[in-house]
Structure 1
């Protein structure tokens, strides 16, 4: 199963479980069974995300660039008069 298919299946199962819970109650066997099926789908989805084909490698340069851009913004937002104190 692909990520997008898994996302659709999760959304459908979640809606089904909510409907069952509201009509038959949370302790009903059908609701519990549906919840367990949703758990399996969520586990499959997490497995797909952790798969190297689907996960984006962590790029620490992105974090560094973001931190530098925030610092530059802070420096540029300091009023000009604070640079020259007599």
Structure 2
């Protein structure tokens, strides 16, 4: 699955889980069973999202790498 698609899915899930948690807290209070369950599920979703962001950043080429690649392109270009 595409990382961008997964990130969007996670953001939607995070928003929905947050709404469920807030609703449960309004009914049962902050220490209610459902509130705690939704809070833990929300934590897991947010951790997964942060994990994706971290790995996305680690795999992205640095600015220095991009500049180096661009300079190689200009050197290898044939002159007319």
Q: TM-score range with shorter-chain normalisation? A: 0.5 to 0.7
Displacement, 1:53? 7.1
Equivalence for 2:47: 43
TM-score by length of 2: 0.64
Which string of whole-angstrom CA distances, capped at 9 and with x for unpartnered residues, describes residues 53-86 of structure 1? 79755648xxxxxxxxxxxxxxxxxxxxxxxxxx
Which string of whole-angstrom CA distances, capped at 9 and with x for unpartnered residues, describes residues 24-63 of structure 1? 1111111001100000000000011112379755648xxx
The answer for unaligned runs of 5 or more in structure 2 is 65-80
Name segments (4+ residues, structure 1) moved above 6 Å: none
Structure showing greater Rg: 1
* Aligned length, in residue pairs: 60
The answer for unaligned runs of 5 or more in structure 1 is 61-86
* Gap change, CA 1:23 and 1:4, over 3 Å in 2: same
